[in-house]
Structure 1
Amino acid sequence: MTVLSLSGFTDGWMLLFLVVVAGLGLAYWLTTRRTRRRVLRFANLDLLQAVAAGRRPDRLRHLPTVALTAALVFLTIAMAGPTRDIRIPRTHAVVMLVIDVSESMAAVDVAPSRIEAAKQAGKQFADGLTAGISLGLVEFSSGATLLVAPTADHGEVAKAIDTLRPQPRTATGEGIFTALQAIATTTAVLGGGDGPPPARIVLESDGKETVPLDPDDPRGAFTAARAANEQGVQISTISFGTPYGVVDFDGQRIPVPVDDQTLQRITEITHGQAFRADSLAQLSQVYETLDRDIGYQTIRGPARAGWMWLGLAGLVAATLTGLRRNRHLPD
């Protein structure tokens, strides 16, 4: 699709030619006014009125000049090299999928359960992620485990997601720290002349951190988020669940409402994005959004083609109307 843009010129100095175009237009206007005054000054007005009464004014006499001027403007813009935003797949990046497997993920307020829905959506995310991205997987409960180091084999991550099982407690900070270590190891290997590849953490959880109780502790979630921010790693969070979740523990039904505040604060610290989902469908949509955001990058690309075509169309219009007006083309 041809896109017209008037920004990001690569040869902006060429726009100075518009001054010449404006000068030519002004010269034409002054010439026509001077010619009209000369005709009115020396013409027999009675004869001129008689001729004008039997002849329609040529309202299109300026059309060739207008078309030519427009063509010159369009071609000048094209020569100046306008650019536009173009989204292209990333050729290299590191993404760590960090999933909460605490016991609250066994709640069935999301069918068939939070953990099963998370596994299904996570596998869809892994399967649909851009091929040029290295994807890794971390699970966290009372601690954190690196299940898959960042790899281009996204199928390996999908298989590992199938092994997730609920376990006691929630150590969000440990999950982030483990992901950061995997990112550092991978970027040290992949980094080249252009520097390390961009990295992102996608953190999915349903509850606030319980290990440690204070997220500002040295191994807490907020401390880990600040470490991520220092390393230039954004964290996108997904709060998954409803306020009505419960789990059975020793014969008791314990409420496990979803917690948004901790995850929201993590995204604020790292300048990431915060999402919320209370169903499998919503979770899948969130992952699709993240796939589009993470899997592609926006660069500036050329946008002169549209202006070139407009310029050529203007030249053709100027030529055809000029020939027709001078009777070189049949009516």
Structure 2
Amino acid sequence: MTFLSPERLWLLALLPLLAAAYVLLQLRRRTYAVRFTNLALLQHVAPRRPGWRRHIAAALFLAMITLMTVGFARPAGNVKVPRDRATIMVAVDVSLSMMARDVTPSRLDAAKDAAKKFIQDLPARFNVGVVAFAGNANLIAAPTTDRANAIASLDRLTLAKRTAIGEAVFTCLQGISSFDEQARQDPPPAHIVLLSDGDNTTGRSVQEAVDASRAAHVPVSTIAFGTPYGTVDIEGETTSVSVNKETLRTLAESTDGKAYEAADAGQLSDVYTHIGSSLGFTTEHRDITARFTGLALLLALGAAGTSLFWFSRLP
């Protein structure tokens, strides 16, 4: 937390003086009581005070003054603010390894179901596009706020050979920058969410994709989907298709995105939910004076309430 007017915090130096004055007043009252030597009569003319309760209102009052002073210095902190406009590209691996059934009912079917829910739950103001990639990458749904079009495109996915992760990133970047005139002249905040289970085997390299994403200021979050035990039958031969997590992690971390892993449909759904909640907001450094003002008001009400309840007067 920072302060936009930090010089006003010097007023906090007055608080110890107020506390000291309160303590001195309490000591003076005790001195007057001792001077009254007829203790039996003193109990009738000066009934016993309510002990520690009489200090509660004073403590709340000092805390209120502290918060008001801090608020007067205009504190500022990081605040989550809903994005007004953003473009999300969902890239789905459709290489042959995605037909593995180590995930029920298959890696591809689980990926499609989770991606549909992810798209449906994104804020309505977001544009969403879909890219499918295997040996090459294709924009199968251009970025739009039309969720039905993006979801329908996932039902048309078909499997193919090889995995072009780098090409998928380049296709996503092209879709982000060219889907309308406003995007070309005033690009909105954008993010790529790429799901894959393999390594980059064709097309441009992952490093080239990293360089392009960083130049466009578009983070890539990756999801490594599947288990180490997946197998597929290709042309009568059983092939192991374990997940290559390192490539995807490098892509994500090098573009300021997040790297996730999911071994089943439930974990994948949780990952998409987490990504969606983080993409819907941006963090800004803003004035948070209202927080301290609100807390100070609650303390003021507490001081007044306790004083009225115990002593039938305002502090």
Question: Shorter-chain-normalised TM-score: which range?
Answer: 0.7 to 0.9
- 2:269 maps to 1:284: yes
- 2:145 maps to 1:152: yes
- Equivalent position amino acid for 2:69 in 1: T
User: Does 160-169 or 74-83 show the bigger shift?
Assistant: 74-83
Q: 1:83 to 1:306 in 2, by over 3 A?
A: farther
- 2:178 maps to 1:185: yes
1:32-111 paired onto structure 2 within 5 Å: 32-33=26-27, 43=35, 47=37, 57-58=48-49, 59=51, 60=53, 62=55, 65-82=58-75, 86-111=79-104
- 2:189 maps to 1:198: yes
Q: Which residue of 2 aligns with 1:306?
A: 295
Q: Which residue of 1 aligns with 2:155?
A: 162
- 2:203 maps to 1:209: no
- 2:84 maps to 1:115: no
- 2:259 maps to 1:270: no
Spell out, residue by residue over 1:262-302, the C-alpha distance to the aligned partner (whole angstroms, 9 max, x if none).
11111121121111112112111111111111122344453
Displacement of 1:36? 5.0
- Equivalent position amino acid for 1:18 in 2: L
**Which among 285, 295, 303 is matched to residue 280 of structure 2?**
295
Contact kept? 1:65, 1:318, Cα under 8 Å: no
Displacement of 1:137? 0.9
User: Does 59-68 or 98-107 show the bigger shift?
Assistant: 59-68
1: CA distance between counterparts of 2:95 and 2:279?
26
**Which protein shows a greater Rg?**
1
1: CA distance between counterparts of 2:55 and 2:267?
60
Displacement of 1:81? 4.8
2: CA distance between counterparts of 1:121 and 1:287?
7
- 2:167 maps to 1:174: yes
SS at match of 1:233: coil
2: CA distance between counterparts of 1:197 and 1:126?
18
TM-score for both structures, normalised by structure 2: 0.84
Contact kept? 1:106, 1:114, Cα under 8 Å: yes
Contact kept? 1:71, 1:313, Cα under 8 Å: no
1: CA distance between counterparts of 2:122 and 2:56?
54
Moved over 6 A (4+): 52-56
- 2:13 maps to 1:19: yes
For structure 1, the residue ranges without an aligned partner over 5 or more in a row are 1-6, 213-218, 327-331
- 2:115 maps to 1:126: no
Q: Percent identity?
A: 35
Displacement of 1:167? 0.7
Contact kept? 1:93, 1:198, Cα under 8 Å: yes
Contact kept? 2:61, 2:299, Cα under 8 Å: no
Q: Which residue of 1 aligns with 2:24?
A: 30
2: CA distance between counterparts of 1:86 and 1:227?
30
Displacement of 1:197? 2.1
For structure 2, the residue ranges without an aligned partner over 5 or more in a row are none
- Equivalent position amino acid for 2:190 in 1: A
Q: Which residue of 2 aligns with 1:244?
A: 229
Q: Which residue of 2 aligns with 1:235?
A: 220
Contact kept? 1:187, 1:197, Cα under 8 Å: no
Contact kept? 2:178, 2:184, Cα under 8 Å: no
Displacement of 1:142? 1.2
- Equivalent position amino acid for 1:20 in 2: L
User: Does 258-267 or 294-303 show the bigger shift?
Assistant: 294-303
Q: 1:308 to 1:109 in 2, by over 3 A?
A: same
Contact kept? 2:57, 2:303, Cα under 8 Å: no
Q: 1:314 to 1:72 in 2, by over 3 A?
A: farther
Count of equivalent residues: 308
Displacement of 1:162? 0.6
Contact kept? 1:74, 1:310, Cα under 8 Å: no
- Equivalent position amino acid for 2:301 in 1: L
Spell out, residue by residue over 1:179-237, the C-alpha distance to the aligned partner (whole angstroms, 9 max, x if none).
11112224862477xx632111111111111114xxxxxx2122111221232211111
1: CA distance between counterparts of 2:301 and 2:8?
18
